[in-house]
Amino acid sequence: MATLRQVKKRINSVISTRQITKAMEMVAAAKLRKAQMRVMQVRPYSEKLDHILIHLSAAASGELIHPFFEKREVKKQTLVLVTSDSGLCGSFNTNLIAEARRWLIGKSPETAELVLLGKKGNDFFKRRDWPIVRLFDEWNGNLDHAKARDVVDFLTSRFLNGETDQIDMIYAQFISTGRSSNVAVRYLPVERPEISEEQTAHLEYIFEPSPESIFTNLMPRYALTKMITALADNFASEHSTRMTAMSAATKNAGELIDALTLQYNKARQAAITTELLDIVGGAEALKG
């Protein structure tokens, strides 16, 4: 049985741990508020860009020409996996890696490759046989537009040069605080919007300059916006999961402190009772 000193030492250790987890919970909550604002700012822009693309595609009347729309025989596929740089965020990274492993089922290292955003994905896959063509880390849960642009330039360059024929992306889509959903989406080639005849009938655009020039300017911005939206969602989900995990850890630490304190008090009471019995016994012996 643990001594009073050992129990007291453990109580102090758990109290210190609770202070750390509480501080991390507050930091994650502060970062989450900023990340949520960023998601709310990015999503309307992304949705409007989708809306513009649908309208322009409908009005182009078959003149939709841009390399990002080019579908070719898939000989090489690229998976962009977005994870976090640090842990202590529950099953966040585990679920994303599991989604990536499901994507890799039926593929071989000769036909599939990885582009990793975040250290945790790299920590897992660097010990596997899948080729990692590029790692972008040191995000620290913050959306860096310059780094996001570097990612987009790298991916679009590989697609346009024929080094890969299809690029998919797996990330955590932020839904609400404490809730996110892992999604796998096509990044390149861009899916041509499906437009009904009724929608086409109401669109009478005159292109100036030509549709080709407009799409040449629009599609790089579209690709960058989709990447920024995915990263904003993923970072918000990361901070939300970490806040939830640290909140649960803080609660568990409190419950453990209560249990240890009860154990300490019972042991202390038993020790005092034993001492009193020794004293009473000694007194009775002196009387006899």
Q: Annotated catalytic sites, by residue?
A: 89
Assess contact for 52 and 144: CB atoms under 8 A.
Answer: no
**HSE toward the beta carbon, residue 248, CA cutoff 13 A:** 9
Read off the amino acid at residue 59: A
Query: Can you tell me the distance from the alpha carbon of 196 to that of 276, in angstroms, rounded to the nearest whole number?
Result: 91
The number of beta carbons lying within 10 Å of the beta carbon of residue 213 is 11
The number of beta carbons lying within 10 Å of the beta carbon of residue 17 is 16
Q: Is 103 exposed, middle or buried (0-12, 13-18, 19+ CB in 10 A)?
A: middle
Q: Which of 132, 100, 135 is nearest to 117 (CA)?
A: 135
Q: What is the DSSP string of 27-83?
A: HHHHHHHHHHHHHHHHHHHHHHHHHHHHHHHHHTTT----GGG-----S-EEEEEE-
Cβ neighbors of 181 (< 8 A, separation 6 or more) are: 172, 173, 175
Query: Can you tell me the distance from the alpha carbon of 248 to that of 90, in angstroms, rounded to the nearest whole number?
Result: 10
262: tokens are: 């009860």
> Would you state the torsion angle of the CA atoms of residues 130, 174, 155, 112, taken in this order, to the nearest 10 degrees?
20
Query: Can you tell me the distance from the alpha carbon of 12 to that of 10, in angstroms, rounded to the nearest whole number?
Result: 5
